[in-house]
Amino acid sequence: MPFVKVYIHFVWSTRNHLAFLNSADLRLKVWNHIRENAMTKGIFVDFINGYSDHCHCLISLGVDQTIQKIMQLIKGESSFWINKNSLTKEKFEWQDEYFAVSVSESVIDKVREYIRFQEKHHQKKTFQDEYDEFITKYGFERHKDFG
């Protein structure tokens, strides 16, 4: 049996960065659902949180999991669930694009803290500011559908 521990920090946004997840209660409901649903699919969500227009998720990849498949399962099912339960006034959608960066074991607690304090973090900084920092920090090219 292989032993694998590969952490990925995922960040994805609502369609057009709309503040669909506009209350702490709604966000908690969505994050809990994502965690519970992921567990049924064998996806280990180590930490999840976000703000009104995006989600941060720290996931430990399984031996046969791919980044693309995890995002497809999490984003697709959660948007279906949000709409099925009429949790938003308008039709809910996640943006197609997402960030995914590897996380070293040595900074895992720092990433958890960053994700934990998203609400406080975004009182001072917009998602666009955060996006721009990610682009620069990780050397990504700006993509027309995300930023």
In this structure, what is the dihedral angle of CA atoms 98, 109, 70, 102, given to the nearest 10 degrees? 60
3-state secondary structure at position 123: coil
Report how far residue 14's alpha carbon sits from residue 100's, in angstroms, rounded to the nearest whole number.
Answer: 16
Interval 73-109: pLDDT, tens? 999 999 999 999 999 999 999 999 999 999 999 999 9
Q: In this model, does residue 70 exceed pLDDT 80?
A: yes
Listed in sequence order, the DSSP H helices in 18-65 are 24-40
Q: In this model, does residue 55 exceed pLDDT 60?
A: yes
Q: Where do the domains of the chain lie?
A: 6-138
Is domain 6-138 annotated with CATH 3.30.70.1290? yes
Q: Which residues contact 24 (CB under 8 A, 6 or more apart)?
A: 119
